Each structure stands twice: as C-alpha cells, then as structure tokens.
C-alpha cells in the first residue's frame, strides 16, 4: 500500500465501523414501554438525536418521495395539552354511533360503504382503538373499523388468538353487526384487513399463524414489528417467531396481498427493535430503501419502499410521541388500501358530525 492509498483505506475502515456501530447502538438504548394512546403532553422527554442506521442512510432521493403530514394543532389545542399521544377528536365523521364488539367497538359508515351484493370492507385494528377511530373518521372513507384493545404487551394480544377459534368468532360477530346495521341479511365481509400498533402486532402475527394468510387480505403494522433474540446467539433475531408476517410480506411484494409497515428509530433492550426487524425483512425480500424527502421534521420520513402491494415507511423519532405518531399513519395506509379494494364511498350528502 502506498502513502497515497493509506487515507483512502483509513476512511473506508472508519465508514464501515460507523455503520456497524450505528446499527448496534439501537439495542443499547433503554427499552420504551408502549404508551397509552391518550397519554397527556409533557410526559415524554425531548427526543435525542438518533444514531445513524441503515434506515437513515440517503440511498437515493426521488423527487416524488412521500412526506409525513405534521400534526396540525391550533394554539389553543397545544396549550390544552394535545400532542401526538392525545390528538383532538374530529367527531364521528362518516361513522354512525358505534356498536359493541368483543373487547372493542365497531364503527360502520352511517350510509353507504356496502357493495350491491352487501359486501363491506373491514379493518380490525388491535391496540389503540380510539386513536384509530380518530384517524379514520374523515367523511370520505367507506371502510368499516373494528377497534380491539386487550391490554399492554404483545402477549396480551397473541395468547387469545392461539388458535383460529377466536378469530372466527370475531369475524362472525362483525358480520352479524353489519347485517343488523344495514338491515341486509346478505351483508358480509368482502375484504378483511388486520392492523396493529405497538403491541397489537401480537394479535396480527398469531392470526396469520393459525388462520393462515388466505384468511386476510391486508396487514398494517404501525411501529410494532418486534421479535426476540435466539438464546445464546447474541443479537441473532428469532425469525421463526415472525415467520407468518414475513410470509405475508412476500405475497405483498408479488402484489397478491397488501402490506404496510412503519418503524421509528426507537431502540429496545432485550429484544429486536422495529428498525432491526424491518432491516431484516428487507434483506430477506431483497428490497432496498429509498431516502425520504429531507426536511426539518424530527419525526419525518427517513426512508421508504414501495413494491407491488408492499409498502414500508421509516420515520425519525426516539421517544413516546414518536411512537404515538405512528397511529396517525393509519390514515395514509387506509387511503392506499381503499384505492386498492375500490371501497364504496360514503354518500356525498353526509357531513362530519351530522
């Protein structure tokens, strides 16, 4: 090696070390307990500057890169304590009064939303049902939302769905409510999607494992794709634990299903973070991130992937508000999903709060 080559080699080594350290530093941060979606302002510390990770690297910047829509609050709302973890209630929008459902509520459009044959498009959301309803209350939507809350921790969501029995009962309960609401005995679920924020992914993963990918048309995971490490294997992720989700994602890449997943830059202690899982998923799918549009938004889009029915969004942020903010990304996911399903719109004569 010549003296001229030494700086080049040294710089290459430093860059390699920085990349390795950037990924490793995520696991050294304190674990973040999934917060209450209605957590009030002031409970979270300011977000530190995130360590560089593969998800933050500017791979290629398209001019049409999507952006995050910042939370739009009035001065009065900000003073009242509203933030990403406690967003203002927009009212019922196009939804009628809710129907009671097992451990949750069913929100059906007041008018419309059904096809001529009585088919409805339904999304079952796990963890943060009230916040999911706020995100989807706009009058232009025709989707039916079932919000289910079972407690904290992924085990609270995965254990009840340890077989397909409860999932089948939940489907039948939703269809029964749809028939009563629409006064149409032929009403049924045309398309079915599963959505989970934070710990809610446990239910989605268990349902896919026991009911099979054929029972579900779409999956949405909002900053909630986790897995443990294999015992005695250092930081090797237990892929078998999330194999159903990975299998579903492969079908989405082939455009046979719809899969929308988001992650923050939050580090975890003792188990793999959403960033690590999404990096591994992209590696298995042989997909490469594109860089998000650069801006000053600390929770802004860092990277994204769109391939067939597969959509990944990597956002900034390392605190509770960043984690809560992912519930609002349900709006963008459902817009894409409704377009894919050609969901019938609610009647144009309706108005929010009517």
| CA–CA distance, 330 with 336 (Å, rounded to integer) | 10
Split at pLDDT 50, 70, 90, the class of 233 is confident
Give, as one character, the DSSP assignment of residue 311: E
Boundaries of every domain in the chain: 5-341
d(C-alpha 31, C-alpha 177), whole Å: 40
Q: Is 5-341 assigned to CATH 3.40.50?
A: yes
Q: What is the pLDDT of residues 261-306, one digit of tens each?
A: 999 999 999 999 999 999 999 999 999 999 987 788 999 999 999 9
Answer yes or no: are the C-beta atoms of 86 and 40 closer than 8 Å.
Answer: yes
Strands (DSSP E) found in the chain: 99-101, 104-107, 119-126, 144-148, 188-197, 218-222, 227-228, 258-263, 271-272, 290-291, 301-307, 310-315
pLDDT in tens, 81-124: 999 999 999 999 999 999 999 899 999 999 889 999 999 999 99
Tell me: pLDDT of 341 over 80: yes
Name the pTM for this structure: 0.81
- Given a contact cutoff of 8 angstroms between Cβ atoms, the answer to whether 327 and 37 are in contact is yes
The residue behind tokens 């939302």 is 145
pLDDT band at 173 (very low <50, low <70, confident <90, very high): very high
What pLDDT does 24 receive?
Answer: 39
Q: Return the pLDDT at 52.
A: 36
C-beta of residue 77 within 8 angstroms of C-beta of residue 120? no
Residue 17 predicted with pLDDT over 70: no
- Phi, psi for 301 (deg, rounded to 5): -70, 120
What does the pLDDT average to over 181-192?
97
């Amino acid at each position: 090696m010549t003296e001229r080559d030494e700086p080049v080699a040294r710089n290459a080594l430093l860059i390699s070390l920085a990349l390795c350290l950037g990924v490793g530093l995520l696991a050294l941060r304190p674990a973040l307990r999934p917060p209450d979606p209605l957590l009030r302002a002031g409970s979270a510390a300011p977000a530190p500057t995130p360590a560089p990770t593969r998800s933050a690297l500017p791979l290629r910047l398209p001019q049409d890169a999507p952006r995050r829509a910042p939370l739009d609050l009035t001065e009065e709302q900000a003073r009242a304590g509203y933030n990403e973890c406690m967003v203002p209630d927009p009212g019922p929008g196009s939804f009628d009064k809710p129907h009671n459902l097992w451990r949750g509520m069913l929100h059906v459009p007041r008018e419309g939303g059904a096809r001529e044959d009585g088919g409805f498009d339904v999304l079952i959301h796990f963890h943060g049902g009230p916040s999911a309803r706020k995100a989807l209350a706009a009058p232009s939507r025709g989707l039916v939302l079932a919000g289910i809350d079972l407690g904290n921790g992924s085990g609270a969501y995965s254990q009840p769905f340890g077989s397909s029995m409860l999932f089948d009962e939940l489907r039948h309960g939703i269809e029964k409510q749809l028939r009563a609401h629409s006064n149409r005995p032929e009403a049924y679920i045309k398309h079915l999607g599963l959505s989970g924020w934070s710990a809610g992914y446990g239910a989605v993963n268990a349902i896919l494992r026991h009911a099979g990918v054929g029972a579900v048309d779409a999956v949405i995971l909002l900053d909630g794709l986790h897995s443990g490490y294999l015992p005695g294997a250092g930081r090797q992720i237990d892929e078998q634990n999330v194999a159903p989700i990975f299998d579903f994602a492969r079908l989405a890449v082939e455009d046979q299903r719809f899969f929308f997943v988001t992650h923050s830059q939050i580090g975890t202690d003792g188990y793999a973070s959403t960033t690590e899982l999404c990096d591994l998923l992209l590696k298995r799918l042989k997909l490469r991130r594109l860089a998000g549009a650069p801006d000053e938004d600390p929770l802004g889009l860092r990277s994204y992937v769109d391939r067939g029915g597969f959509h990944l969004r990597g956002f900034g942020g390392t605190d509770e508000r960043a984690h809560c903010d992912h519930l609002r990304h349900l709006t963008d996911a459902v817009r894409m999903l409704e377009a894919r399903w050609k969901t019938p719109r609610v009647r144009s004569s309706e108005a929010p709060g009517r």
